Structure 1
Amino acid sequence: MEKNMKKIILGFIFIISLNISLLFLDVQMATFDIKFYEKKFEEYNVYKKTNIQKEDLKKVTIQMLDYMKGKRENLIIETNIGQEKEIVFGERERLHMVDVKNLFEIGFKIRDISIIIFLITFIIFIKYYKNILYKLLLFSATIPMIAMVIFGILISIDFSKYFTIFHEILFTNDLWLLNPKTDILIQMLPLNFFYSISIRILTYFILQLILIFILGFGLKEKNKVIND
């Protein structure tokens, strides 16, 4: 009984740590892909809305992403806006990005801890409980995949609603409520951008879960052959 309970607890930790690791890696992969930003800037006519030239806006975006990675101390960035050189982000935008940066720092730590925990539990199952590893992989894929599909449907129906809920949960202030007429940050990253990047993250995650399911199913079939 005690041995079974140990396996259940370890299995639960395995499943949670694997999924958190993948999801946070997907967020990182999508968020820091400059090519994605350039594509969306073209799609949403951002260059015209911000009055910033393509190469200048790319440099601004790279500096913003560096700030989120902790490679830059502040977001006081100057560039050509129209015919004049100006500071891109106002005080409210910079204060909001402090909150965003703090969230990413927490996310990086959670990602790293989850990867370590997953690797430890994976080694334990390989060494002591290899015969049930396929079950863990199938569970790791099936339940989160169903949850992500449902979530994807919900945000497709009313993304604005869930975008607001997300911000109200994660932020303790209203600095994220920016003015699209005056604030360049929201002109660069409109609601449609966040919808696109959310779908991209979900797609990455679901594809990874499908691969995990296939791997789990393959191990299950292999176990059948060995046992037969």
Structure 2
Amino acid sequence: MKLSKNQGSRRSNTALNMFLSFITSIFAVGISVIITLNLTIVYKIAIDKFNLVKITGLSKEKLMFNYNGMIKYLNNPFIKQLEFEDFSMSRTGEIHFQEVKNIFMKLYIIVIIALLIFITFKLVKALAKNIEFPKVVNYAANIILITFGFVMASMGINFSKTFVLFHKLFFNNNYWIFDPKTDPVINALPEELFLVYAIIIIVLLGVQVIAFKMIYIKSKPIKSPHQIIKRFNI
């Protein structure tokens, strides 16, 4: 059966909107992770909350100095080697931090590419006329809700198992299992800290989802309370 010109155009526009929705959701996740990584104040609070001074035997100032050095290493592509002033590090520990750095470098690249793609589609008139921005962000919100709804459920059931599964998915070795004797930095990075980071990422994503949904709702004329619910289109 041959499609009419209008039908073909609508399908093409839908595919384009879905593609941009995927790009938008990737950007939202990526930027949330990057923001969380750079919220060093969280670690400053965690030092007191998790009693890290007593556990590590280091002062709060020294812990922050070592932590800031680690964050700079993960953020800066020109820093090739991580060195802790107050922690020894095994070869496998060093490799693991290199692998973590590679993930963040790729994440930065993905976020930049996603942003450039979206900007290009918004600025080029021939492309922009086919974009339904409210639908794009609404679809993106739905993608995030479905994906991270599952993640939140897993975390709620058993964060430790989710934490282990995450490492098994992203790393093809067990170098992430640190021995405090050879990699004492693990004492300064308790599992509870990563739970806090995960919660912050989810909160940031939640804020973006709400913003996306509001953009979609405001793009439609609302005549009744029933339509308000319908506009969410989840």
Scaled by the length of structure 1, the TM-score of the pair is 0.85
Q: CA deviation at 1:217?
A: 0.5
**SS in structure 1 opposite 2:219?**
helix
Q: Deviations over 1:99-127 (max 9, x none)?
A: 11111111111111111112223446884
1:128 aligned residue: 129
| Mapped pair 1:78 → 2:93 | no
2:164 aligned residue: 164
1:54 aligned residue: 60
2: CA distance between counterparts of 1:154 and 1:166?
Answer: 11
Query: Is the 8 Å Cα contact of residues 21 and 111 (structure 1) preserved in structure 2?
Result: yes
| Cα 1:213–1:123 shift into 2, 3 Å | farther
Q: CA deviation at 1:182?
A: 5.5
Percent same amino acid among aligned pairs? 23
| Cα 1:122–1:154 shift into 2, 3 Å | farther
2:30 aligned residue: 24
Query: Is the 8 Å Cα contact of residues 50 and 187 (structure 1) preserved in structure 2?
Result: yes
* Larger displacement relative to structure 2 (185-194 or 59-68): 185-194
1: CA distance between counterparts of 2:15 and 2:199?
Answer: 32
1:138 aligned residue: 138
2: CA distance between counterparts of 1:33 and 1:136?
Answer: 29
**SS in structure 2 opposite 1:78?**
coil
Scaled by the length of structure 2, the TM-score of the pair is 0.83
* Larger displacement relative to structure 2 (147-156 or 171-180): 147-156
* Larger displacement relative to structure 2 (143-152 or 19-28): 143-152
Query: Is the 8 Å Cα contact of residues 30 and 197 (structure 1) preserved in structure 2?
Result: yes
1:83 aligned residue: none
1: CA distance between counterparts of 2:90 and 2:56?
Answer: 13
1:14 aligned residue: 20
1: CA distance between counterparts of 2:128 and 2:19?
Answer: 16
1: CA distance between counterparts of 2:145 and 2:122?
Answer: 20
Unaligned runs of at least 5 residues, structure 2: 1-6, 223-234
CA RMSD of aligned residues (A): 2.1
2: CA distance between counterparts of 1:124 and 1:10?
Answer: 14
1: CA distance between counterparts of 2:166 and 2:177?
Answer: 13
**Which residue identity lines up with residue 65 of structure 2 in the other structure?**
K
Unaligned runs of at least 5 residues, structure 1: 80-86, 223-228
**Which residue identity lines up with residue 47 of structure 2 in the other structure?**
F
